[in-house]
Structure 1
Amino acid sequence: MEHASSVVDLVGLIVALLLIAGAVRAITKRVKLPFTVALVLAGLALRQLAEHGPKFLETFAAYEVSPDVILFVFLPAIIFESAFNMDVRQLKQNLLPTLALAVPGLMISTGIIGTIVWWATPFDLPAALLLGAILSATDPVAVIALFKNLGVPQRLTILVEGESLFNDATAIVAARILVGVAAGGYVLSAQTALSSTVDFFFVFLGGAFVGWIAAVIFGWVLGRVEGDTFIETSLTTILAYLSFVLAEHTFHVSGVMATVAAGLTMGSWGRAKISASVAGYIEHFWEYMSNLANALIFLLVGLRVDLGALYESLDILPWVILAMLVSRATVVFGLVPLVGRLPGAVPVGLPYRAVMYWGGLRGAIALAIVLSLDNFAHSEIFVALVMGSVLFTLLVQALSIETLVHRLGLDKPPLVDQVGAAEGLLAAKHRALERLPEIQEGGMFSYRIANDLEEVLTAEVRVLRGELEELRHRELASEDERILIYSRVFAAERTIYYELFTKGHISERVYRDLCHAVGHESDAIRHGLALSRDPLHLQDDQRISVAWYKFFDGALGFTGIPERMRLAHVAREYEEAWARYQVCTRILKDLESLVFAESARPGIVAEVRKRYRLWLTAAQGHIDSTAEQFPEFVTTMQERLARRLLVIAEKDIIEAESRAGSIPPGVRDKVMERLESEIRRSRGGEIAHLRLDATEILRQVPFFQGTDKEEFSRVASMLRQRTIPANKSIIRQGEKGETLYLIARGVVRVTRNHNGDSQDLATLIAGDFFGEMALLHHEPRMATCRAVTPTAVYELRRKDFDKACQTCPGLQEALEEADKARKQELAAK
């Protein structure tokens, strides 16, 4: 009975906390107060009422929040949601600057806080450094919300989000190492520092590896589940918590990094494994879980605050807060400008750095770490100091950050956004006017009411048009209007991509890649950068892709996995080019209405039209080159598109018949489930049609033409097919080379960098070969060979070369002749 009573008390407490959190949320919508701050204040008020008020509130004061509840229940939900919804493409492009802030930045902050606290308080250096690590983990929720409202570059928002995500893990790992140093009474020395550094990287990277492996396994399982909300949501929930627990308890590495890696993997590669009908639900589910965990944490923080302990620590607390502010200032104003110079980083202006500095709040991570210090000598005073520091950031910094933004002049929407909002409202009013006759004909209200509404709407349209014209002619410069028009067209692009995705014409991965490309162009136009000639082949993405495939070729080349990945890449690029072609065609067709051409500057409209024609030509060229090199694959893609269009038509008819009552709901559900399954099966590209028959193609190579069938088969068995997407480098000048390449399909451009100038040396087609110079002479590559179109090649490695020459004597002779001729060509150029 006693156990049952305790369970009832716990359930009652949770229900009460949820009711309080809901009430606080409703109040903060009316009162200008941050939700987390209001929750802490509510928790403080509850504690005081419980101690001095009605008896039934004693449960709130008596409840002791366990650090394990925060670490193993709340934290995985918050971390997984952040990682799952992060733009991984943007994060990869900003990975170096993000990690520079998250790891060295946190270490610098830990050192500064520890040094100041050690100098100003009775704590020894290891204990002071531990406090520094605890207080160096930031919660940037206020900054991110402000940045999104202010329209800052997406890369800057990702930088702040990524820093917080990774420095949470860094702080926990560093704190655990320092707890061992402080509790063991070790003297800080070079040996201790080296040992701690090795431990840190093992725990940090080990956690990431565990999370990645777990996500790959769960993604594989998810790919075999079709449209089941319960199973798919359960699997993502198990992944979030299991990765954390496995890393912490089984492998003794970072649970936070495991959950981060699992969330990032599932939010990028794993999204394609989640059924389209379930994806939206899962996003909402994790948003709710994260909000719930945050709400309960901050309520419990307020309930846990002991004002008496805070008062007793007032002689030390100001020094801790000062150290915390100085360390954050050093990182933001000292390290961030240096990080802005790293490859892929975006420079951060001084006003935004000021917002990053003052918005560096402390929250759940710091509290979770300090509450877990049960057997530490200074645990009680540390709890009071961390509570006081968290309260300072919430009650002082969080409440004053909007004032800072106003003082810096960052709260005024850019003129472009003002005009865009006015145009959107004007379009809505026009749409309402168009609907009036339709509604009146339906007999919904009288002619008099309709006439009155029409007069009101007409007057509002007249006023809005006047305001818009004034904004345009008095303040809107040519460059501002250019940004506005491109922004409107990019928004239309996203809408069309979403339509193609929901109809099953493009996969989740392709949809996200295309939206990422639009976001990149939108950021470029807003911040004065040049637009890409081909948004599907961004330079940063190309470098990452080359490095990624090079790693997999070295690590897993023997398995055939890298080749399957390249084939999937070619199929995906065709799908992206097809979608890009559809979008450019529709944009050009509807451009006049999209940009309000009657009031826009003609030169800007002409520029937009020219740009989209250029992109249309690039997409058409990619489609044509793929069709030329891989006709079987393109035929299959067209057949799949035809099947999808027919199935979509069937779905529309079934829906109409169901609404009319001709088809019972149960029958409709079964038919719709079958049709959805057909759409899923016909989505994407079938990579089997990209594979080639080596016998048929290699007979085109001159030195194989005289070889008998048996000898030729032996040589063919030594060759390995490799498929190269368009615009990717196959070999690079200066690299060590031990492979000969035989072109099966496609076009390859050979270029050389000579004294800083790029020279075109040759264009190779099916039946040609390259790479023989490095293979014969054990020299670095003399030129770069790049795929102009999607290209299929066969590789002959050095270890198989001698065997192939014995089987096919003409091979050595042909390669030596080609080597001699190409050396003469290089000398002549």
Structure 2
Amino acid sequence: MEAMHPVPQLVAVIFVLLLVALSVNLLARRSGLPYTVLLVLVGIGISFVSDTVPALANMESALSISPDLILFVFLPTLIFESSYNLDTALLRRNSLQILALAIPGLLLSTGLIGVIIWQALDIGLVASLLLGAILSATDPVAVIALFRQVGAPGRLSTLIEGESLFNDATALVVSKILLGILAVGTISGSQLAGGVVDFFILFAGGLAFGVALGYVCGLFIGWLDSNPVFEISLTIAAAYLAFLIAEEVLHISGVMATLGAGLLLGSWGRLRISSSVQISLEHFWDVLSFVSNALLFLLLGMQVDLLELARSWDLILWVVLAMLVSRAIVIFVLLPLFDRLPGVKPVGFGYRFIMFWGGLRGAIALAIVLSLTDYPFKDLFVALVTGAVLFTLLVQGLTIKPVLSLLGLDKASLADRLALFERDLEAHQLAIERLPALQKGGMFSSRIAHRFNLKSRQAISKAKRKIKRFRQRELGHDEELNLFFLRALSEEKSHYQEMFNAGHISETSMRRLLLVLDHQIDTLKYGNGIEDINGHSHYEFIEHWLFRLLGDHTPLQPLVERLRISHINRYYEVVWGHFQGSRHVLNSLEQLAQLESTPRDIVDQVLERFRHWNNLASDKLHRLNHDFPELARLMQVRLGKRIVLLAEIDTTREQAQLGTLAKGAAEQIEVSLQRELKALRGLPIPDLDDDPAKLLRRVPLFGHLTETELNQIAAQCEAMTLEKHDQLVQQGNRSDRLYIVSRGIIKLQSKTESGEQHLSTLIAGDSFGESALMGELRTPDTSMVAQTPTRLYTLSRNNLNQLMAQNPAMASRLKRSDARQRQIHGITEENRKGTERPEGSDEA
């Protein structure tokens, strides 16, 4: 038989190994053993029998593990998948402890392992420290996979996975620095100082570059029209380009770069990924991570030389001992020191023990040791590291599950356990509701339907008994209140996601709503109960400090005004979203309570809190609708347009499925509709009529001027911005200005002996002060007060007189117009007085 060419042989080997990995995965599910540990054992088995089976020997020789294969093929996938799916809220809450373990913890572990090996074995101090750095990087793949099976606490998973992600980068950077010192042959103070500087440049530089690349990738994803191919491909490019550019071009940490890109896209960028693509994206990275882990651990097992390990067993024991001692000191001595800092939630003994025993070693350690080219101790180091990795996988990996069970950490949370009971209850209630519809369809035995109805009722009774026992044994009033409140907040969060997917709220507003909601959820989970927070800071407060600081008479004034309108606009949308979300929860809570698993007093307590929040949002909306009616109108118009577009999209999809509309035509129509819907997402800044020349045209005094003359006068107008309740003109103070309202409401009022009298209201386009502008000098008996945040333009008599002196023709027209206006006002005033009657006069 003719031998296969190298490339086909390599492809064949890869997919044979993938089939082996799938078989091992099935075995792991049935046996309950850690999947990665079984992969290593199978790999060792393949290596052990390869000498007697030619096909296995060819497989082993065709694909050998190498540092480049680990670093540039497997590692970007594994790091990106982990960081993308990491709970960023838990990561942020535990960031101090994670960084403490990843940086000072790894440095301490490096020193401890190095000193122990230096004293026990005939190896130099720097070389021993290098081995310590290699063995200090943890690999949580096997442990996290087990945690997901047994439902271990989320905080424990985040601590272990977060430490591993960050200390991988630390180990690689420290190893590079120690290799540089070994090349020189001596240690000096300048080298140590330079090493510290290099460490922070590599570490922080890699993270910053990864975050920047992830941000750019997120921007591109947000501009795409729900295209799964482009969006998924961009995440692949972000993962690998971050690593490659950081390592090969910028010479900073590729691990930190990929980590930063994954964290940013998994948190900030997740909203920008289309809802229809998110599930596909998660499945894709799950498959890619599975393939990478499967091949990596199989190859690891296949590279194990059992004879070499047997010859070095005594040295491996010293290495394992040093590794365990250093890990224990880091977890049980260093970590509690950081737990004492203010604002840090301590890590309990059970969590610390699992973090100690679950600190397995894996791919990073092998990649570093295999990359030691032309190094005298390389063969010895490869054997020692391989032995240490095998010990952690086979001994610690196989015993981690019993240890979890012994410490009681394999139990699901109270919320998850209650949800499982209620799932059975709700499922069988739904089955009872649907059985009659099945009978109405005909040809279905009523006896069989009755039997299933009876079984479902028995299951409901059984679920109710379980819930009752669970409540009596596990739940107090406060715990049950928190659980029901968390469920209500989750319902609100789900509704916000639906509103965002439908385009009813913008990305910025969605982030602000989730920020408040996540804070409430965190307070319930980790704080002291429900916190009544107002996350929608009122716009007047920000305007008062920010916009007044910038002022009306600065070159930035047009930008400030646009920022002001933008801020009010976003605030309006957030309040509207909160109103809709709280109202949805109020309507949904009764259905949740009908599961008969939550006491009525708890339901009423949560309902009362959401009614309070809904009333607050309603009051704010009424006030905003009064202050900014143009925003309310625009909001309603855009909402109506989105509803129509969504209906057209749904109809197009239904016709395509039924075959009444060609698939290609349906896709083109939907792309066009989606583009229109995307343009209507959220609430953009309204185009307000803020041209002073147009406003002047509406003033009767200037009605007969030319466009050139109007533009000349408009150039002399000054913009003003008033806060709510600001006084523009005080009664009794003379004014020589014309005021034209651009937006907002101004109230004209007068104080008399009988009290304050409301005279009239000025809205957008109205003006006041024409007579004073043209020279009438009298003490006004009127004050002007802003009823809403208001923008207006003013024209002073001095500026107008200068223009009139330069243009006599314009001055003549203005004087004639002023005389006509005075005559009209005079006739109107006489008519008004003529219609007034003395008190007590008879009606005609």
**Would you say same fold, with TM above 0.5?**
yes
1:609-656 Cα shifts (integer Å, max 9, x gaps): 122123323433554565566554454333322211111222233334
Partner in structure 2 of residue 102 of structure 1: 102
Cα drift, residue 156 of structure 1 = 5.5
Partner in structure 1 of residue 250 of structure 2: 251
1:648-669 Cα shifts (integer Å, max 9, x gaps): 2222333344444432333322
1:143-196 Cα shifts (integer Å, max 9, x gaps): 545666777775554444332222111111111111111233122x43221111
| Matched ranges for 1:503-542 at <5 A | 503-507=502-506, 514=513, 517-527=516-526, 529-534=528-533, 536=535
| Matched ranges for 1:803-814 at <5 A | none
Alpha carbons of 1:52 and 1:444: their partners in 2 closer, same or farther (altered >3 Å)? farther
Partner in structure 1 of residue 38 of structure 2: 38
1:349-388 Cα shifts (integer Å, max 9, x gaps): 1111111111111121111111111222211111111111
Partner in structure 2 of residue 645 of structure 1: 643
Partner in structure 1 of residue 284 of structure 2: 285
1:246 corresponds to which letter in structure 2?
Answer: I
Moved more, 649-658 or 281-290: 649-658
Aligned equivalents of 1:592 and 1:664: distance in 2? 44
Partner in structure 1 of residue 23 of structure 2: 23
1:352 corresponds to which letter in structure 2?
Answer: Y
Q: Is the 8 A contact 2:170 2:203 kept in 1?
A: yes
Aligned equivalents of 1:563 and 1:628: distance in 2? 20
Partner in structure 2 of residue 71 of structure 1: 71
1:196 corresponds to which letter in structure 2?
Answer: G
| Matched ranges for 1:138-157 at <5 A | 138-144=138-144, 157=157
1:52 paired to 2:52: yes
Aligned equivalents of 1:714 and 1:267: distance in 2? 52
1:264-287 Cα shifts (integer Å, max 9, x gaps): 233333334434433332222222
2:167 corresponds to which letter in structure 1?
Answer: N
1:31-88 Cα shifts (integer Å, max 9, x gaps): 1111111111111111112123344543225632221111111111111222223344
Partner in structure 1 of residue 198 of structure 2: 199
Partner in structure 1 of residue 461 of structure 2: 462
Partner in structure 1 of residue 264 of structure 2: 265
Q: Structure 2 regions of 5+ residues with no counterpart?
A: 538-554, 696-710, 724-742, 746-787, 793-844
Q: Is the 8 A contact 1:584 1:615 kept in 2?
A: yes
Aligned equivalents of 1:597 and 1:272: distance in 2? 32
1:35 corresponds to which letter in structure 2?
Answer: Y
Aligned equivalents of 1:248 and 1:791: distance in 2? 53
Aligned equivalents of 2:44 and 2:564: distance in 1? 57
Q: Is the 8 A contact 1:153 1:523 kept in 2?
A: no
1:529 corresponds to which letter in structure 2?
Answer: N
Alpha carbons of 1:157 and 1:451: their partners in 2 closer, same or farther (altered >3 Å)? same
Aligned equivalents of 1:383 and 1:611: distance in 2? 62
Aligned equivalents of 1:2 and 1:181: distance in 2? 51
Partner in structure 1 of residue 85 of structure 2: 85
2:391 corresponds to which letter in structure 1?
Answer: F
Aligned equivalents of 1:75 and 1:145: distance in 2? 17
Partner in structure 1 of residue 425 of structure 2: 426
1:321-342 Cα shifts (integer Å, max 9, x gaps): 1121122222222232233344
Partner in structure 2 of residue 601 of structure 1: 599
Partner in structure 2 of residue 485 of structure 1: 484
Aligned equivalents of 1:598 and 1:469: distance in 2? 10
Cα drift, residue 569 of structure 1 = 7.3
1:667 paired to 2:662: no
Cα drift, residue 134 of structure 1 = 1.2
1:240-276 Cα shifts (integer Å, max 9, x gaps): 2122111111121111122122222333333344344
Identity of aligned residues (%): 43
2:584 corresponds to which letter in structure 1?
Answer: R
Q: Is the 8 A contact 1:102 1:166 kept in 2?
A: yes
Cα drift, residue 487 of structure 1 = 3.5
Alpha carbons of 1:203 and 1:417: their partners in 2 closer, same or farther (altered >3 Å)? closer
1:100 corresponds to which letter in structure 2?
Answer: A
Q: Is the 8 A contact 1:117 1:323 kept in 2?
A: yes
Q: Output the aligned Cα RMSD.
A: 4.0
| Matched ranges for 1:528-677 at <5 A | 529-534=528-533, 536=535, 574-596=572-594, 600-621=598-619, 623-624=621-622, 627=625, 631-677=629-675
Moved more, 19-28 or 626-635: 626-635
Partner in structure 2 of residue 803 of structure 1: none
Alpha carbons of 1:123 and 1:588: their partners in 2 closer, same or farther (altered >3 Å)? same
TM-score (normalised: structure 1): 0.76
Aligned equivalents of 1:347 and 1:694: distance in 2? 62
Aligned equivalents of 2:483 and 2:212: distance in 1? 44
1:438 paired to 2:445: no
Partner in structure 2 of residue 137 of structure 1: 137
Partner in structure 2 of residue 686 of structure 1: 684
1:641 corresponds to which letter in structure 2?
Answer: L
SS at match of 2:374: coil
Aligned equivalents of 1:283 and 1:599: distance in 2? 33
Q: Is the 8 A contact 2:331 2:356 kept in 1?
A: yes
1:123 corresponds to which letter in structure 2?
Answer: I
1:492 corresponds to which letter in structure 2?
Answer: E
Cα drift, residue 18 of structure 1 = 1.0
Alpha carbons of 1:9 and 1:417: their partners in 2 closer, same or farther (altered >3 Å)? closer
Q: Is the 8 A contact 2:656 2:666 kept in 1?
A: yes
Q: Is the 8 A contact 2:505 2:573 kept in 1?
A: yes
Cα drift, residue 715 of structure 1 = 12
Q: Structure 1 regions of 5+ residues with no counterpart?
A: 539-556, 698-708, 724-743, 747-789, 795-829
Aligned equivalents of 1:690 and 1:140: distance in 2? 57
1:336 corresponds to which letter in structure 2?
Answer: L
1:307 paired to 2:306: yes
Aligned equivalents of 1:412 and 1:89: distance in 2? 22
Aligned equivalents of 1:120 and 1:692: distance in 2? 82
TM-score (normalised: structure 2): 0.75
SS at match of 2:313: coil
Q: Is the 8 A contact 1:166 1:257 kept in 2?
A: yes
Alpha carbons of 1:290 and 1:414: their partners in 2 closer, same or farther (altered >3 Å)? closer
Partner in structure 2 of residue 374 of structure 1: 373
Partner in structure 1 of residue 770 of structure 2: none
| Matched ranges for 1:87-236 at <5 A | 87-144=87-144, 157-187=157-187, 189-236=188-235
1:388 corresponds to which letter in structure 2?
Answer: G
SS at match of 1:133: helix
Alpha carbons of 1:645 and 1:146: their partners in 2 closer, same or farther (altered >3 Å)? same
Partner in structure 2 of residue 404 of structure 1: 403
Aligned equivalents of 1:564 and 1:148: distance in 2? 49
Alpha carbons of 1:287 and 1:620: their partners in 2 closer, same or farther (altered >3 Å)? farther
1:443 corresponds to which letter in structure 2?
Answer: G
Aligned equivalents of 1:793 and 1:241: distance in 2? 51
Alpha carbons of 1:119 and 1:635: their partners in 2 closer, same or farther (altered >3 Å)? farther
Alpha carbons of 1:238 and 1:26: their partners in 2 closer, same or farther (altered >3 Å)? same
Q: Is the 8 A contact 1:571 1:687 kept in 2?
A: yes
SS at match of 1:316: helix
Q: Is the 8 A contact 1:521 1:535 kept in 2?
A: no
SS at match of 2:5: helix
Cα drift, residue 602 of structure 1 = 3.5
Aligned equivalents of 2:227 and 2:279: distance in 1? 13
Alpha carbons of 1:486 and 1:250: their partners in 2 closer, same or farther (altered >3 Å)? same
Q: Is the 8 A contact 2:13 2:62 kept in 1?
A: no
